[in-house]
Chains A and B, each alone.
Chain A
């Protein structure tokens, strides 16, 4: 056990919080609590995982593990009791969350509202499930808590009384947010109802959290607020600047809701900090960001969890506490790092089976990090549900199928059967995307092949299958699928749905096309395009779509992938032709411009490449690959200082970017910073040991005066051996 660096830890989750919205509010003095927080602590981007689905992400935050390990694979799962589906439950989580580990070690631990937190777990403290705040009946009738919403059971009535009902959201609460609420025709426009629901649910969670902080002993408290995410899904379309297609009247009514949501959370944060006390270490995180600018989609993909297209790849992290740095920015954090970091704050060992790392850069001094193989093997009461309450939902579904086959129970209704089939299919799809995200292509392939075979009418499965083939170097199979997709026409939609779906599909494709990464990086890391983002639980206004034309539907992402294949085959002209065709269909695809830039670089058209990377940054200023591309451009232009700056920006945005560290090393070496360059090359090699050029650079740097000749010899030997191997492979 290491030395504890925190007496108490308060973990606050703000779903979908994004610096892009927070920073202007901080500048205007409209989020004073968070402003003071970051002044006294560290802040940074928190990179998300794909697919960007909140239940999966929040459980990765709480376990330090990817979803294939923790077992929460989407929003819905089959319900073995009803035979239908239900929101994902805590009984489906296969591994210990932070609160279980801390319970096991005797800490007084509370958790509130966490995604997939129902039924409440029997931890050493109070557990309030995510179903706790939902009002299932009118205020004047009973609106009982669902069974299992609160642990311990004897606190049930106490917490039931802390809830706020949407009908308790009065004019006085609405008008500060929506001053023109009286202009809303509530028969046609459900915006105010939606607003009241979100506000009351978050107040309920906040009431429960503050009650615990005031009345119960505690060492760790985790509280999750869905407010920012839900307000954004409901009202981001009305956020300034006014989007095309949004009526001015509605824009004027709802335009301040999103900013006010952040200000409201800032006020709640102040209460939490006051009650937690100055001795508490506070960690505030979000699972992803939310597009709030010109990247806001105009429609929602017509597929499960389609609203996740609105999510951005970076959430937020802020931490403050006794042993943490003050007023510093940290780089390269991912949401997998939260659990290892909090365990280290408590002086507890990190599980070697956790996928995240300790955010050492946030600490004043390098913390002592201890490790154990896995917390899963540690004996002792951890406050998880007993094994008899945990069951693999897919196995449960198989048992139901067995009973139906035996005639013991009625077959599922058509609706139920469809819902179950959809839930199981989406869980499989999400699992495949988890494998893609973590570069386990063989595992992903097996699932995607089955999905594409079973649902040939869903291009998303074939698209990911093509990406998977590409990553595995099976270009011909990828090409065959893409050519099939380019002539694929889905079944015609019902007339009333057609316009929206057309727009939705376009948006889905848009998202899909954002995924692939620069070809150079892809080649180097043997990785492929990432899957599209998805998710959401709140109804979102859907903007009128453009009518579809008579021409075959353009599939720019298929052209994009074909361009990648041509690039990998060395046919730059064909690659460029495909990429430019994709650009004609949809010029707003940031990753498309990265590909174009890469192709121009290969053709030695440096200025064209620069333009393409700049274009990518215009679309997404937080694209690490675009900064990386510009770093390469600047190197070619011998503008080494600027190259180093771009490479630093790239690795700051995404720490696991081996070529970012490599090109940073090249720029620093040219600038004469031998030691820093050495560190950069070593970082690149730690991420990508096969990066031959890094060994060559290190051999050269260690040969210089002050270098380590032994290391120089070793790196030279590795370089020569790798080069021989590559030459041998090339000749055979």
Chain B
């Protein structure tokens, strides 16, 4: 999504610190400082007028003083966990000491809590974008994002960024979505 936004003409906030790797061959579009959000909520001010990638956990810490539009990427959790397990293996770190099934349930609870915390926050607008929908119909997804952001974006360029070959970590039984 960050690549799509950048291609569409949206300014993105990234420090380029985390370089592309096997997990993400096109790079991460991350801004390391966002991890400080819980300790320094005001740092979000640097993202004003720009797009910044924020992990769901950090949304709890979004301050009330800034209007935010959140594009919330949703993907089946089984795929998310499979992808995370692979990333953790490559990073050589150790993740949650839970079975995949329990971790999926825990992540679902986490998302429920995030969603509950975002409700009734007048400074936050939310647009849920389904990962598979983007793969299936990138143009439609790009238009949806453009409407949500109230900005004129280059939708065709955005849609071109969607590379179905990067769809990996399919879980057993997941059928690749077709047109």
Contact = CB atoms under 8 A, between A and B. Distances in A.
Q: Is B a genuine binding partner of A?
A: yes
A488 B98 CA distance: 34
A402 B115 contact: no
Given A386-B116, A388-B115, A398 B60 contact: no
A144 to B, nearest CB: 13
B38 A82 contact: yes
A118 B16 CA distance: 42
Nearest to B59: A81
Contact of B96 (A83, A402, A410): A402
B109 to A, nearest CB: 4
Contact of B109 (A81, A395, A401, A408): A395
B151 interface: no
Given A82-B38, A388-B116, A409-B35, A399 B110 contact: yes
Given A406-B84, A406-B88, A409-B57, A401 B95 contact: yes
A403 interface: yes
A730 B146 CA distance: 84
A400 interface: yes
Interface stretch (B66-74, B100-108, B133-141): B100-108
B164 interface: no
B109 A392 contact: yes
A405 B55 CA distance: 13
A428 to B, nearest CB: 14
A406 B18 CA distance: 12
A148 to B, nearest CB: 11
B113 A389 contact: yes
Given A395-B98, A409-B57, A409-B58, A402 B84 contact: yes
B116 A401 contact: no
B116 A405 contact: no
A80 B110 contact: yes
B113 to A, nearest CB: 6
Contacts of A404: 93
A374 B38 CA distance: 41
Nearest to B105: A395
B170 to A, nearest CB: 19
Contacts of B110: 80, 391, 396, 399
Interface string A80-94: 111100000000000
A379 interface: no
Interface string B53-81: 00101101100000000000000000000
A407 interface: yes
Contact of B55 (A388, A389, A396, A403): A403
A387 interface: yes
Given A392-B109, A410-B35, A403 B93 contact: no
Interface in B86-129: 87-88, 91, 93-98, 102-103, 105-107, 109-110, 112-113, 115-117
A398 B103 contact: yes
A386 B55 CA distance: 24
Contacts of B84: 402, 406
B118 to A, nearest CB: 11
A81 B58 CA distance: 8
B166 to A, nearest CB: 18
Interface string B23-39: 00000000000011010
B113 A388 contact: yes
Contacts of A400: 57
B106 A408 contact: no
Interface residues of A, number: 26
Contacts of B18: 407
B113 A408 contact: no
Given A386-B116, A398-B103, A400-B57, A405 B109 contact: no
Nearest to B85: A402
A90 to B, nearest CB: 14
Nearest to B38: A82
Contact of B94 (A392, A403, A405, A408): A405
A398 B106 CA distance: 8
Contacts of B112: 387-389, 391
Nearest to B36: A410
A391 B60 CA distance: 15
Contacts of A386: 116
A399 B61 CA distance: 16
Contacts of B60: 81-82
A399 B115 contact: no
Nearest to A390: B109
A575 to B, nearest CB: 43
B95 A405 contact: yes
Contacts of B116: 386, 388-389
Contacts of A83: 38
A406 B38 contact: no
Nearest to A389: B116
B91 A388 contact: no
A342 B131 CA distance: 52
A354 to B, nearest CB: 27
Contacts of B87: 406
A399 B38 contact: no
A427 to B, nearest CB: 16
Contacts of B98: 395, 398
A391 B113 contact: yes
A399 B55 contact: no
A347 B61 CA distance: 47
A406 B109 contact: no
A81 B107 CA distance: 13
A402 B95 contact: yes
Contacts of A401: 95-97
Contacts of A402: 84, 88, 95-96, 103, 107
B91 A396 contact: no
Report which residue of A81, A396, A401 has the largest number of chain B beta carbons within 10 angstroms of its beta carbon. Answer: A81
Contacts of A410: 35-36
Contacts of A396: 106, 109-110, 113
A409 B55 contact: yes
A389 B18 CA distance: 34
B171 to A, nearest CB: 17
Contacts of A395: 98, 102, 105-106, 109
A387 B108 CA distance: 11
Given A395-B98, A403-B57, A407-B93, 7 more contacts: A389-B116, A390-B109, A392-B106, A395-B105, A402-B96, A402-B107, A405-B95
4 smallest A-B Cβ distances: which pairs? A388-B112, A398-B96, A395-B106, A405-B95
26 contacts: A80-B113, A81-B113, A81-B117, A82-B60, A388-B113, A388-B116, A389-B112, A389-B113, A390-B109, A392-B106, A392-B109, A395-B106, A395-B109, A398-B98, A399-B96, A399-B103, A400-B57, A401-B96, A401-B97, A402-B96, A404-B93, A405-B96, A406-B88, A406-B91, A407-B93, A409-B55
